[in-house]
Structure 1
Amino acid sequence: MKLEVRSWKTAVLLLSICFGLFSTIQAQNQQARFKVVAFFTAKNDKAHISFVNEANRWFPKMAEKHHFTYDTSSNWTNLNAAFLANYQVVIFLDTRPEAPEQRAAFQQYMDKGGAWMGFHFAAFALTPSAYPQNWDWYHNAFIGAGSYKSNTWRPTSAILRVENRNHPATRHLPQTFRSAPNEWYRWTNDLTQNPNIRILLSIDPSSFPLGTGPKPHEIWHEGYYPVVWTNKQYRMLYVNMGHNDIDYANKTDKELSFTFDNETQNRLILDGLRWLASGKN
């Protein structure tokens, strides 16, 4: 009889230990989770559409592997306070909000400590164009780049140099690495003169000449070009990557490159995402 009681107590103890371990693991998983929502338009340039489609395949896989949730929306009316309150990080895969109330909601979200990651065309502004520079806070105060000035062509890989190795987004990167092919942007504002901007990556001079043309101004031979940066006043990360190479020349529209086919670059994006979700500046 005493043996049965002892066995029963042992079983209860083991169950308690297992339940405790399960609760601890469950709590750790809950703590590890964060929610991301990506807004996109994906209606204009085929290269941008290719990138958006690729991102919406890649991020869900990373979300499952690294314990976060990834939602998407092409309905920019969802850019409102009630909807954004459900997410720790907002991503703009391409374009930007246009309606005044959407812009106001996004600025309020960021002012209150929200986090944002923007890719490539999300920072584009050119007057006159379909995306004029008509949002001073976003392009000058927040991203800091001002307006689009020029770009390389065709999309080509570049050697990127890490400018700040102490930042959580870049601390696991080598000093230099080769990027995925991309169309690289140049801006009207000099980001080095903005005290709020921390440049994390730039194009290394060993990349020059960068671009293949055919127009001479589409090939860069010198200069300083930031490609990833953050703003000290906000939890944000702008990443200039996000333009896949498309076979326009032969009019096949075949996808010739993919942004997320680069493991080092992917590490930057994932570490940047974790930093944004951490709530730490």
Structure 2
Amino acid sequence: MNTHIIKIYFFLWLSSFAISCNINAVRSSRKVLVFTKTVEFHHTSIDDGIKMFEKLGHENNLSLTVSEDPSIFNDDSLKQFNAVVFLSTTGEILNYRQQLCFKRYIEAGGGFMGIHGSSASLSHSDWYRGLVGAYFKNHSTIQKARLIVHKDKKFPVTKSLQVPWIFEDEWYNWEAIPENVNVLVSVDEASYHGGEHGKIHPLVWYHEYGGGKSFYMALGHTTESYSDPKFIGLVHDGINYVCNDTGLDYSRVKTPAPPEQNAFRKEMLVDNASVQEPMGLSISDDGRIFYIERRGNVRVYDIDRKQTSIIGTVPVYSEHEDGLLGIALDPGFSQNHWIYLFYSAPCNQFNYHLSRFRYDPETNHLIDTTEIVVLKIHQEHAYSNHTGGRLCFDKQGNLFITVGDNTIPFASKGYAPIDQRAGRTEYDAARSSGNTNDLRGKILRIHPEPDGSYTIPEGNLFPRGMAKTRPEIYVMGCRNPFSISIDPRTNFLYWGDVGPDAHKDSLEGPRGYDEVNQARRAGNFGWPFFVGNNKPYAEVDFSNKKVGNLFDPQAPQNNSPRNTGLKILPPVQNAFIWYPYAESQEFPWVESGGRTAMTGPVYYYVNDSLLSDQRLPEYYNGGLFIYDWVRNWIKVVRMDTNGNYTAMEEFMPEGHFSRIIDMQLGPDGMLYLLEYGNVWYQANPDAGISRINFYLRR
């Protein structure tokens, strides 16, 4: 940890720098945290800024803690500081939990000072943008400019600053001009080149925000700034303004405190003796856990009796990745006892079946004779890859079904499998994922009817009756959508799409990325013509290895001779989260290594005494749980009120997981995990069903 403490206790009535300032002495020294972490650009003038603060500390009874260690942003540590300074910080300098603790500090009455590059920090946080007052867009070259000083009683230095004030710096432009702030210094754009705001271009301001006080100055790029008396005078008065001398009041705080990670425990409910190659689970309103195994068994765990039973076995084709793949209980299960299963039909049928069965609660068995095949989807078996098969109902009773691209990826070097040569059908995902007239490589949305048929809800990607399309399609352009969830409040759809294997970019296209996706409405998510945040692949002639043009995300063309759908496809939607084998610059919290992106539920806290007191705490309200089958982690994704990504945080980072293959919320508000075990295609000793218990520290 690169942290040093400078504690100097002097009681001075007047500052020693060349500015007339009245300083009120306080009985004990003010404690100020000067935070200097940078993730992106590092200003060499930070060291000069530290020296300036050391001098101010000596002259003004300040006890300084200078640190670039973000772990100091916790409740216990922050409570000791009268103010926090971000000295030219840049990038994503705090994780989500640390940001929340900082927000709680401000809500308790804490003070914040931002200098120069700090307006280019924490870009995903709307709260932080509001705290600063404006966000960095770009800057001019270093040059002299004329500054306009606005006198203010709270800032004595503004009375003595020479008008106009000529200063040399790089001049920041803002994404938007700050509003509801008190401007102390602005710049005359006529005096330099590169301004973008016209007559009103603020550079230094202050305001009250979220329970605390904030002061920001865009000056400070150069080394010389930190020895300039006028600049130092602004910093001095800014510290004097933001310092809380009356004490923080955490009773005012509205943001829930982050729970300690050791407050969570994983409780094993069903061990490997009754969990063999598990694929999915669905939990009834009374807490029973229905789950499936790839080779055809359907089981139920009675949580009250702590008993597991096989309630049925479905004949399936189980070579490669095929088998019994998906399960969902009907929304009216407590009355009608219907269970939906998605499986690979026995080998002579070459179809996926979505079937409805009736469960008999008296005999605790599926009734085989009640099977109704609701939907059949063609597939090729030769080497079946990328099956999908997950099922999920929304609150309107619509059933979402994930279907993989049914394509062999191993002959395209980890890039787009779009081989158009004769005899290479299973190596061409344009015939499936990129085909508007094929149900593979899609997420379907249908409304099952009581008679076993289905209707098409309004709002799917293609209207009923449109030529060369299938009306069941809600999302197209998927590779291997192996998990799915619905936000019960927004009805947004989330899924994990397992990506291709290329390790580096090439002329054929980008390296591989896994995706966590969000669909607010029906759309095309790009595969096999795009991956990640719409990174395009190139058309490739596999017969002569000739690389052609990149695909156009606004109007991608499917030129495959196996395409039975539209040639011009809908515009491509961006991935919500994407990450490669290597470390991700955009999403550093996902780490590196093998990857299999999966999505769990969006959690909403309900203050109901009938729910378990060990349910997930309110802190996770509105968070999307995601997990990675290979990397064995769970993360929580945070979003703003519109559903835009803002942050990601670890969940149980010290927990041990063995290839989580499904994750569901129970009616008790607790999180249930289905773990496959570490080796594919076999029963594993570390497979099982577990529950996450939260123990509140009182």
Q: Fold conserved (TM > 0.5)?
A: yes
Q: Measured at CA, do residues 186 and 169 of structure 1 come closer, stay the same or move farther in structure 2, by a change above 3 Å?
A: farther
Q: Say whether 1:137 aligns with 2:107.
A: no
Q: Measured at CA, do residues 179 and 34 of structure 1 come closer, stay the same or move farther in structure 2, by a change above 3 Å?
A: farther
Moved more, 168-177 or 104-113: 168-177
Which whole-Å CA distance do the structure 1 matches of 2:186 and 2:74 have between them?
34
Q: Deviations over 1:143-197 (max 9, x none)?
A: 231x4333111x1232221224223364443362535422111112232xx2x32
- Give 1:44 deviation, angstroms: 4.5
- Give 1:210 deviation, angstroms: 1.3
1:228-239 alignment, distance < 5 Å: 228-233=204-209, 234-239=212-217
Q: Say whether 1:201 aligns with 2:185.
A: yes
What corresponds to 1:59 in structure 2? 53
- Give 1:34 deviation, angstroms: 0.6
Q: Say whether 1:117 aligns with 2:104.
A: no
What corresponds to 1:148 in structure 2? 136
Which whole-Å CA distance do the structure 1 matches of 2:93 and 2:38 have between them?
13
Which whole-Å CA distance do the structure 2 matches of 1:235 and 1:279 have between them?
12
What corresponds to 1:79 in structure 2? 73
Structure 1 residue matching 2:71: 3-state secondary structure: helix
Which whole-Å CA distance do the structure 2 matches of 1:222 and 1:230 have between them?
21
Which whole-Å CA distance do the structure 1 matches of 2:167 and 2:39 have between them?
23
1:185-264 alignment, distance < 5 Å: 185-191=172-178, 194=179, 196-204=180-188, 208-211=190-193, 218=194, 222-233=198-209, 234-244=212-222, 257-264=223-230
The structure with the larger Rg is 2
Asked if structure 1 preserves the Cα contact closer than 8 Å seen for 2:150 and 2:185, the reply is yes
What corresponds to 2:549 in structure 1? none
Q: Which has the higher contact order (CA 8 A, sep 6+)?
A: 1
Using structure 2 for the length normalisation, give the TM-score: 0.30
Using structure 1 for the length normalisation, give the TM-score: 0.70
CA-atom RMSD, angstroms? 2.7
Which whole-Å CA distance do the structure 2 matches of 1:162 and 1:230 have between them?
14
Which whole-Å CA distance do the structure 1 matches of 2:31 and 2:228 have between them?
24
- One-letter amino acid of the structure 2 residue matched with residue 168 of structure 1: F
- One-letter amino acid of the structure 1 residue matched with residue 236 of structure 2: L
User: In the alignment, which of 162, 165, 173 is matched to residue 178 of structure 1?
Assistant: 165
Which whole-Å CA distance do the structure 2 matches of 1:73 and 1:179 have between them?
32
Q: Measured at CA, do residues 163 and 30 of structure 1 come closer, stay the same or move farther in structure 2, by a change above 3 Å?
A: closer
Which whole-Å CA distance do the structure 1 matches of 2:102 and 2:156 have between them?
23
Q: Measured at CA, do residues 169 and 123 of structure 1 come closer, stay the same or move farther in structure 2, by a change above 3 Å?
A: farther
Which whole-Å CA distance do the structure 2 matches of 1:179 and 1:41 have between them?
30
Asked if structure 2 preserves the Cα contact closer than 8 Å seen for 1:152 and 1:219, the reply is yes
Contiguous gaps of at least 5 residues in structure 1: 1-24, 126-130, 212-217, 245-256
- Give 1:223 deviation, angstroms: 3.6
Asked if structure 1 preserves the Cα contact closer than 8 Å seen for 2:109 and 2:244, the reply is no
Which whole-Å CA distance do the structure 1 matches of 2:244 and 2:104 have between them?
19
Q: Measured at CA, do residues 30 and 209 of structure 1 come closer, stay the same or move farther in structure 2, by a change above 3 Å?
A: closer
What corresponds to 1:158 in structure 2? 145
| Number of matched pairs | 221
- One-letter amino acid of the structure 2 residue matched with residue 188 of structure 1: E
Asked if structure 2 preserves the Cα contact closer than 8 Å seen for 1:173 and 1:267, the reply is no
What corresponds to 1:252 in structure 2? none
- One-letter amino acid of the structure 2 residue matched with residue 151 of structure 1: H
Higher strand proportion (structure 1 or 2) = 2
What corresponds to 2:267 in structure 1? none
- One-letter amino acid of the structure 1 residue matched with residue 124 of structure 2: N
Which whole-Å CA distance do the structure 2 matches of 1:209 and 1:174 have between them?
18
Structure 2 residue matching 1:260: 3-state secondary structure: helix
What corresponds to 1:272 in structure 2? 238
Higher helix proportion (structure 1 or 2) = 1
Asked if structure 2 preserves the Cα contact closer than 8 Å seen for 1:210 and 1:221, the reply is no
Q: Measured at CA, do residues 135 and 202 of structure 1 come closer, stay the same or move farther in structure 2, by a change above 3 Å?
A: same
- One-letter amino acid of the structure 1 residue matched with residue 126 of structure 2: D
Structure 2 residue matching 1:181: 3-state secondary structure: strand
1:16-95 alignment, distance < 5 Å: 31=27, 33-42=29-38, 44-45=40-41, 48=43, 50-93=44-87, 94-95=89-90
Structure 2 residue matching 1:113: 3-state secondary structure: coil
- One-letter amino acid of the structure 1 residue matched with residue 109 of structure 2: G
Which whole-Å CA distance do the structure 1 matches of 2:170 and 2:200 have between them?
16
Which whole-Å CA distance do the structure 1 matches of 2:78 and 2:244 have between them?
17
